[in-house]
A and B are shown apart, each in its own frame.
Chain A
Amino acid sequence: MTAQTVWIGTRKGAFALQSDEHRDRWALIGPEFLGHVIHHIIQDPRDPSSVLMAAKTGHLGPTVFRSKDGGKTWKEAAQPPAVRVATSNEKGRSVERVFWLTAGHVSQPRTWYAGTSPCGLFRSYDDGEHWEPVAGFNDHPAYTEWTGDGGTPDGPLLHSILVDPRDAAHLYVGLSGGGVFESLDNGASWTPLNEGCAADFLPDPDVPFGHDPHCVVLHPLKPDRLYQQNHCGIYRLDRPERRWTRIGNSMPRDVGDIGFPIVLHPTNPDVAWVHPMDGQSVWPRTSIDGKPAVYMTRDAGASWVRQDKGLPPSQAWMTVLRQAMCADACKRVGLYFGTTGGEVWASADEGESWRCIARNLPEIYSITCSRAFNA
């Protein structure tokens, strides 16, 4: 067993929880950048000394902070993600926030991707120091059609940037209010990949795009297997198929299959976890009936098991955002989720039991984890 670091991005700064080697005791570190809105923190799986953080404050423009010593010290990117200057007959966009970070392919050790609001895709070739727009997406002729006009009250998001481990040029992204899109040529061109996904909020439900994936994941050991937690259900896709299957139909009817995050087992592509939320009437987005639970599938979505041991049995109205749940890579997989109420919950036994390992944090936007880095 190895010590783990759980990185916590919050509305008011960045924190980290460091465990002992048994994941028994956790020490809270931080805050770093107190007062900054931290949307995502990713420790580079290719080089654990490198950590990137997507940040802004309430007033200032967005940026990315970088660490080269495992999070001890930070420096701002010299050139944060920024769209190009508009031509005279264009309505120019600007990045409102950097929302998502993904480390690039293992063959491209210094490459990173960033997703923004409004929807934008950016790439860095130097460990996040300088960022360039991916013109194939940002300037695509169908950009406005794909990304919609304004999106949700929180703004349209580009998230779930996925890199096929077999092919650095094979990418997927998720757009809130747009759907899943795929590129086979390093981002130069894109096609929608939304067949089979429901879009109950659209007048015409059978559209090629306009869907609302909340979180899309790809299994690292079986990259033809994707899952998504969508605004309208839980889905699985096995390439080269193009039609998603709604595996959320096998969730209990009184729970449904609405939620934000979906998390994969690091080595078993048939195992995934979701954190269902109430999506009825005005969409409270809280634990169903105030009884939080994680649901696990061991058979690629054919069936689901409720996991709530240790979670509050009632009057616990949790919201877990799309980036706020993750799994570690230990043999007995650990799971972690953070709530908008500022709690971090952990399981050291693949969800069979849970305990709260941090309280009283600010609103949590992001939970990611990695092996603890010792410089």
Chain B
Amino acid sequence: MPKVNVASPLRSYTHGAASVTASGSTIAEVLASLEQQFPGIRFRMIDEQNRIRQHIRLFVNANGVTDLSAPIADQDVLHLICALSGG
């Protein structure tokens, strides 16, 4: 199962875990798996129209992804990143 690295603002959902695993062969499936394990986490990153929220970035390994149908393999790492912005 892919490993998922969780940005700190989202760790309230993962009980503080910075890294979890989730099942799926696409980003969408992995996010659905995360939602099943950690209810509420998906909506904080993905909006009602299945768009990645403005200040969220997803990376598979070192590659940014914007399409939730993008594939992900068991040995890949999905990074959930909050963009560097704020104040």
Contacts and interface: CB of A to CB of B under 8 A. Distances in A.
B49 A92 contact: yes
A57 B53 CA distance: 12
Interface string A25-64: 0000000000100000000000000000000011111010
Contact of B40 (A76, A84, A94, A95): A76
Contact of A85 (B9, B45, B49): B49
Interface in A72-121: 76, 78, 80, 82-86, 92-95
Contacts of B40: 63, 76, 78, 80
B10 A58 contact: no
Contacts of A58: 55, 85-87
Interface string B1-23: 00000010110000000000000
A75 to B, nearest CB: 10
B64 interface: no
Instruction: Give chain B's interface residue range (CB within 8 Å of chain A).
Output: 20 to 34
B48 A94 contact: yes
B28 interface: no
Contacts, number: 56
Given A58-B86, A78-B39, A63 B48 contact: no
Contacts of A60: 9-10, 44-45, 53, 55-56, 82
Judged by DSSP, the binding face of B is: loop
Given A58-B86, A59-B55, A85 B43 contact: no
Given A78-B39, A80-B43, A82-B43, A59 B9 contact: yes
B70 interface: no
Contacts of A84: 48
Contact of A63 (B44, B55, B56, B85): B44
B47 A59 contact: no
A26 to B, nearest CB: 29
Contacts of A83: 48
A124 to B, nearest CB: 15
A77 to B, nearest CB: 8
Interface centre among A57, A63, A80, A86 (most CB of B within 10 A): A57
Contacts of B86: 58-59
Judged by DSSP, the binding face of A is: loop
Interface residues of A, number: 19
Nearest to B51: A94
Contacts of B47: 61, 94-95
A92 B85 contact: no
A133 to B, nearest CB: 10
A86 B47 CA distance: 12
A61 B44 contact: yes
Interface in B60-87: 82-83, 85-87
Nearest to B84: A59
Interface string B28-56: 00000000000110011111111101011
Given A78-B39, A78-B40, A59 B82 contact: yes
Nearest to A77: B40
A158 to B, nearest CB: 16
Contacts of A61: 43-47, 53
Given A59-B56, A59-B86, A60-B82, A86 B49 contact: yes
Interface of A: 35, 57-61, 63, 76, 78, 80, 82-86, 92-95
Q: Which 3 A-B pairs have the closest CB atoms?
A: A92-B49, A94-B47, A59-B82
20 contacts: A57-B9, A58-B55, A58-B85, A58-B86, A59-B7, A59-B55, A60-B10, A60-B44, A60-B53, A60-B56, A60-B82, A61-B44, A76-B40, A78-B40, A80-B43, A83-B48, A86-B49, A92-B48, A93-B48, A94-B48
